[in-house]
Copies of this chain bind each other. A is one copy, B any other.
Amino acid sequence: MNTPQKTTGFLQGQKIYNISKEPPLFFIMMRLNVKVALLFLLSIGVLTIVVLYSVCGNSSSDWQRLKYNNIKNRAFDLQEVEEIECDINEEYTIMFYGKSVTYDGLERFEWSHSYSKVHPPKARYDPRGVFMYFENYNVEVRERVKCVSATDGVPISTQWESQGYYYPTQIAQFGLSHYSKNLTEPEPSRKTVENAEYDLAKWLVPATAKVERYFDKQVGSNVLKFATSENYSDGIRLKMDHVLYFVMSVHIVLSGNSSFSVTLQNRETAEIYNLHYITSDIWITVQDKNIYHGISSTQEWKRITRDLIIDLQKGLNYLDKDKSKHKITRSKLKIINITLRGSGAIDNLTLSSSEHIQQFYDAAEWFVKHQDAETGGWPIPVKRKLAFAFHDLQPGWYSSMGQGHAISVLSRAYHHSGGDTRYLTAALNGLKPFRISSSDGGVLATFLNKYHWYEEYPTKPASFVLNGFIYSLLGLYDLMVIAPPGQAQEAEFLFSEGMASLKNMLMLFDMGSTTAYDLRHFTVGIAPNLARWDYHATHINQLLLLSTIENDSLFKQTAERWIGYMNGKRAEHN
């Protein structure tokens, strides 16, 4: 059977893309000498464990506490700085970080405001390259991600509805982060467990069951076919003792009531967890230590790519909302079993350090499949109330950010796939809502009858959310650059309109000591909605990125001033 880098021919009509142009190091070594390769793997493993332990260990320290309290990107010396309660004008108290220091005999107080991070771009933004600094994102690990659907390979959001729903913006961010990681991280390392060709696993087959390796005409290569009795304990088992790679990829077809299961063990507590991938449309369900993900109820060949640690973590979180209780680190786990039950076939079962480009394409495929052909939109299926003063957005609304992000994903997919027009068509179609006003189901707002604005939340009245608007501009820019000549005009027009609006309206978001998240204070006359520091940092990062696209001093100067705000500087008063 084929090695992964030869899987492009697998299943006609369904594209599977090259993971790399060169065979991974592991496979090169495999060809040289199996013993050397194993020694290499072992040493990598030990090294990984040491590094992970030194980073993640000592879990009761202040560092750990901060990290697990969703305080991101903070890096300061906690040994001297204290968290201090400060009473303001005898009316309320705030917390800040400070220390008392003595210079030249004079005692004074040092105060720190914010630790959100600015990412100055290293080069001109390239729509074919990393998206923003999304290589740092790990969308699926977020608490507001219910799980990664095993049917589509994309995250399911619980942000505005606890039951879970497909949120195009989040799916796109998932795709863009994996695309970006694929460019910035080292080539993934892989272990092929079973390819029915030359990597053959030692399955333990009960008497009531059978496995068979045969050439499947539809697939075009050897596959492993299996069938067991209906007694679930009689599964076909592969014993493992694997601690290295936790991203599993497998081509699979299951008949009804069948399952593909991975058993993980906590190396400290010896607790056992079963990840079951089943023929079902459910996203996730949990019984005791059994976590079920549905790979869809249609019985067709598909490839699933699973981050087993994520699947385990989401399963543990599913029943008990106290997430910190179930925090399990990679270093504490091993894979001890893979079990096949019912009937079906598998091929190309691998364990990898990552499968970013596959996960990216899972997102791109989702956008191709879930676009409303008529409107070009990716509907958001939940109600959203931005604030009391706004009308509800009714299920089915579109977001300029969702559209723009989707276009960024699809543009990259069109580029990376070498010109698959399905992606281009979907991206171009995704421009439609940018011309339709919010009141007519689109995302277009107009500031005082003058400036066009693409609304992350197409509220009535308009809300003018800054970060979502700029993300939508990046989507337009991506498509305008990547689309073939003659097909880029609409994106170009929308981008230039949006940039003009941004330049004219940008300063309305400057609050003199921070930025506004939106313009609700102007449109509905309530208090400004100040951006929390991570959104403020996003504003800065977006301006710095735009300044590499268009050399307007407004972007750079404003970003510099806004960086100052993060250090507690304020605009001058008169």
Of residues 425 through 471 on chain A, the ones whose CB sits less than 8 Å from some CB of chain B are: 447-450
Count chain B CB atoms within 10 A of each CB in A526, A527, A529, A567 and give the residue with the most. Answer: A527
Cross-interface CB contact of A567 among B88, B510, B516, B531, cutoff 8 Å: B88
Residues of B within 8 A of A532 (CB): 573-574
Bound-complex Cα distance A507 to B526 (A): 8
Bound-complex Cα distance A574 to B535 (A): 9
Bound-complex Cα distance A106 to B525 (A): 40
A245 CB to nearest B CB, Å: 39
A270 lies within 8 A of chain B by Cβ: no
A110 lies within 8 A of chain B by Cβ: yes
A571 and B528 within 8 A (CB): yes
A569 lies within 8 A of chain B by Cβ: yes
A564 CB to nearest B CB, Å: 9
A512 lies within 8 A of chain B by Cβ: yes
A332 CB to nearest B CB, Å: 36
Residues of B within 8 A of A530 (CB): 512, 570-574
A561 lies within 8 A of chain B by Cβ: yes
A186 CB to nearest B CB, Å: 36
Residues 76-98 of A, flagged 1 when their CB comes within 8 A of B and 0 if not, give 00000000111111111100000
Of residues 505 through 535 on chain A, the ones whose CB sits less than 8 Å from some CB of chain B are: 505-508, 510-514, 516-517, 521-522, 525-532, 535
Q: Which chain B residue has the least Cβ–Cβ distance from A532?
A: B573
B531 and A573 within 8 A (CB): yes
A113 lies within 8 A of chain B by Cβ: yes
Cross-interface CB contact of A91 among B92, B567, B570, B574, cutoff 8 Å: B567
A421 lies within 8 A of chain B by Cβ: no
A112 lies within 8 A of chain B by Cβ: yes
Cross-interface CB contact of A512 among B511, B558, B571, cutoff 8 Å: B511
Cross-interface CB contact of A569 among B92, B109, B111, B561, cutoff 8 Å: B92
A67 CB to nearest B CB, Å: 22
Residues of B within 8 A of A450 (CB): 448-450
Bound-complex Cα distance A506 to B521 (A): 9
A511 and B528 within 8 A (CB): yes
Cross-interface CB contact of A89 among B89, B112, B503, cutoff 8 Å: B112
Cross-interface CB contact of A527 among B106, B447, B571, cutoff 8 Å: B571
Bound-complex Cα distance A511 to B508 (A): 10
Residues of B within 8 A of A521 (CB): 507-508, 510, 571
Q: Which chain B residue has the least Cβ–Cβ distance from A101?
A: B87
Count chain B CB atoms within 10 A of each CB in A450, A513, A528, A561 and give the residue with the most. Answer: A528
Residues of B within 8 A of A529 (CB): 571-574
Bound-complex Cα distance A110 to B448 (A): 44
Residues of B within 8 A of A86 (CB): 108-109, 111
Bound-complex Cα distance A503 to B108 (A): 45
Residues of B within 8 A of A503 (CB): 525
Of residues 485 through 520 on chain A, the ones whose CB sits less than 8 Å from some CB of chain B are: 503, 505-508, 510-514, 516-517
Residues of B within 8 A of A511 (CB): 511-513, 528
Residues of B within 8 A of A573 (CB): 514, 517, 529-532
A206 lies within 8 A of chain B by Cβ: no
A466 CB to nearest B CB, Å: 12
A66 lies within 8 A of chain B by Cβ: no
Bound-complex Cα distance A214 to B450 (A): 75
Residues 529-553 of A, flagged 1 when their CB comes within 8 A of B and 0 if not, give 1111001000000000000000000
A373 lies within 8 A of chain B by Cβ: no
Residues of B within 8 A of A526 (CB): 507
A512 and B527 within 8 A (CB): yes
A319 lies within 8 A of chain B by Cβ: no
Count chain B CB atoms within 10 A of each CB in A87, A449, A568, A574 and give the residue with the most. Answer: A574
Bound-complex Cα distance A351 to B493 (A): 77
A528 and B514 within 8 A (CB): no
Residues of B within 8 A of A514 (CB): 512-513, 573
Bound-complex Cα distance A507 to B520 (A): 9
Cross-interface CB contact of A528 among B448, B507, B567, cutoff 8 Å: B507
A34 lies within 8 A of chain B by Cβ: no
Bound-complex Cα distance A337 to B80 (A): 71
A554 lies within 8 A of chain B by Cβ: yes
Count chain B CB atoms within 10 A of each CB in A450, A569, A573 and give the residue with the most. Answer: A573
Residues of B within 8 A of A88 (CB): 111, 113, 567-569
Residues of B within 8 A of A101 (CB): 87
Bound-complex Cα distance A450 to B531 (A): 28
Residues of B within 8 A of A517 (CB): 573-574
Residues of B within 8 A of A569 (CB): 88, 91-92
Bound-complex Cα distance A526 to B529 (A): 21
Q: Which chain B residue has the least Cβ–Cβ distance from A515?
A: B512
| Beyond A448-B450, A513-B513, A517-B574, 13 extra complex contacts between A and B, CB < 8 Å | A87-B110, A87-B111, A88-B113, A88-B567, A89-B567, A448-B448, A506-B525, A511-B512, A511-B528, A512-B516, A527-B561, A529-B571, A529-B572
- Residues in chain A within 8 A of chain B (CB atoms): 84-93, 101, 106, 108-113, 447-450, 503, 505-508, 510-514, 516-517, 521-522, 525-532, 535, 554, 558, 561, 567-574
**Could you give 19 example pairs across A and B, Cβ below 8 Å?**
A88-B568, A89-B111, A92-B569, A447-B448, A448-B448, A450-B450, A506-B525, A507-B528, A508-B508, A508-B521, A510-B528, A512-B528, A514-B573, A525-B554, A529-B571, A529-B574, A530-B574, A531-B573, A531-B574
